[in-house]
Structure 1
Amino acid sequence: MAAGGHKRIVKELSEVTGDPPAGTKVRLVDESDVHIWEILMDGPEQSPYSGGHFKLLLTLPKEYPFKPPVLNFQTKIYHPNVSNDDKGSMCLGMLRSDEWKPPNKLSAVLNYARNLLIEPNPDDAVEGGIAEQYKSDRRGFEKTAKEWVKKYAGKS
């Protein structure tokens, strides 16, 4: 592993644990591996996910910061930008290889993910059906999203 990448990850980890983005807690899954972070994110107040507690996994490639991290929801969530399977892959523009820039910060990734809970991006969806419902039947979308929060993202 490149020493520069490791140093940067350790620095960013201490920044986000010392001053985490709003509604977010970060810790290492395994103290001996700085490449895998567990993120606990509260559903933002102004979203249908309010009151929910979501667990995400941030995986940093060996080539970080030259390759983007991977962010997955481990808690099921009804959202157009998160795959509706056991992977919970999140579709974030800034995490695509062609859009990722090495100066991007992991705290910005977490803020971006949380903002996507407030304002989904149905035009960049991984779940077409949910995106369609979000556009055409917002009330129905919010009702299902809230039901999923109760079912999967309640206090454990």
Structure 2
Amino acid sequence: MSNIRRIQKDLKDFKENPLTYCTGGPVGDNLCKWQIIIDGPQHSPYEGGKFKIAVDLSEYPLKAPIVVFETKIFHPNVDNNGVVCLEILKKEWSPMLTIQKVIIQIYSLLNDPNPDSPLNAEAARLLKDSQVEFVETVRKNVRLYASK
């Protein structure tokens, strides 16, 4: 199966079985470049935010998609450039995984950050040492960058 046929299959699945907390798809006619908007999970510090994510599928499914938050986010597993630290995007990648499964994992990461595998050391430190300050910082960032 070619790269494009696989992406078309994933797109069809994405449209037929939509996730309630996100929208998106290919940017224009380029099936290899997607933009996804994920709602911050309810009952999390990210609640109320809308997070724009760029997904590059140029080498998908043989290699993991390149996933980058375009919306500024304060999160232990997202660096200042928006790069996401998620095992399924690194050493646990399998061509059996779908775009939808990647989105589900990113949403899960918003709900349950992992301070033990940080790309943003400050966010990880705050999450471990001062949850109140962590939540305040996240909510401030959501108001500033993700509530438009």
Range class of TM-score, shorter chain: over 0.9
Residue identity over aligned pairs, in percent, reads 37
TM-score by length of 2: 0.95
Structure 2 Cα separation of the partners of residues 18 and 124 of structure 1: 34
Output the amino acid matched with 1:42.
Answer: D
Structure 1 Cα separation of the partners of residues 19 and 68 of structure 2: 17
Unmatched runs of 5 consecutive residues or more in structure 2: none
TM-score by length of 1: 0.90
1:17·1:25 contact (CA, 8 Å) conserved in 2?
no
1:16·1:26 contact (CA, 8 Å) conserved in 2?
no
Structure 2 Cα separation of the partners of residues 94 and 101 of structure 1: 8
2:140 maps to 1:147: yes
Output the amino acid matched with 1:75.
Answer: T
Partner in structure 2 of residue 88 of structure 1: 82
Partner in structure 2 of residue 10 of structure 1: 8
Structure 2 Cα separation of the partners of residues 42 and 68 of structure 1: 23
Partner in structure 2 of residue 25 of structure 1: 23
RMSD: 1.1
Partner in structure 2 of residue 116 of structure 1: 109
Structure 2 Cα separation of the partners of residues 29 and 9 of structure 1: 13
Runs of 4+ in 1 over 4 A off after TM superposition: none
Output the amino acid matched with 1:4.
Answer: S
Structure 2 Cα separation of the partners of residues 20 and 126 of structure 1: 30
Unmatched runs of 5 consecutive residues or more in structure 1: none
Structure 1 position 36, deviation (Å): 0.5
Count of equivalent residues = 148
